[in-house]
Amino acid sequence: MKRRLVALPLAAVLLLGAAPALTACSFQGVVKDVSGGNVDLGGKSVPADFPKEVPLASGDVVFGAGLGSGADKVWNVTVKVENGDAYTAIEKQLTDAGFTGQFGTRGPNGGGTGTFSNGTYGVLVVVTDAGSNGWVANYSVSKGSAPSPTPPAG
């Protein structure tokens, strides 16, 4: 239980995209210490063990990471996309790959948030305007159900 309590805040940091700004060696050392070494801060590449069943949008990888192991493994990949309408193609990619779900929240200027599952993996996708970095799609993938975009009340 203690490991999960540590993993949840770290996953939240990855989900919010703060990790790309915190790529200093000291941050990587802290994450490895807290996670027991079960972390892959892949930088600008998709983690080697990222599930092949989860299709990613075409574009440059801005950030990739994996955290945990076994049933508690979580991956986070951020991909640069063309614009805020990328969620339409992403939704089609995921449903064509056997995932169910949809983008339930769409932003007023494009982009949106969606959750998907194929029974084995849950995927939370956020398409957002990253300012001077353009539009990005952030994928948070876990085994089981999709990660929640908001933490449960506790």
The pLDDT tens digits for 60-106 are: 999 999 998 888 899 999 999 999 999 999 999 999 999 999 998 78
Domain that holds residue 80: 2-143
**What is the enclosing helix (H) or strand (E) of 148?**
none
In a domain, 151, yes or no: no
* pLDDT at residue 46, as a whole number: 95
In a domain, 148, yes or no: no
Beta strands in 27-145 (DSSP E): 39-43, 61-67, 74-81, 100-106, 112-117, 121-129, 135-143
User: How far is residue 59's CA from residue 42's CA, in Å, rounded to a whole number?
Assistant: 16
* pLDDT at residue 69, as a whole number: 85
AA letter at 44: K
Number of domains within the chain: 1
Mean pLDDT across the stretch 117-133? 94
- pTM here is 0.71
Mean pLDDT across the stretch 116-145? 93
In a domain, 91, yes or no: yes
- Round to the nearest angstrom and report the end-to-end CA distance of the chain: 14
In a domain, 112, yes or no: yes
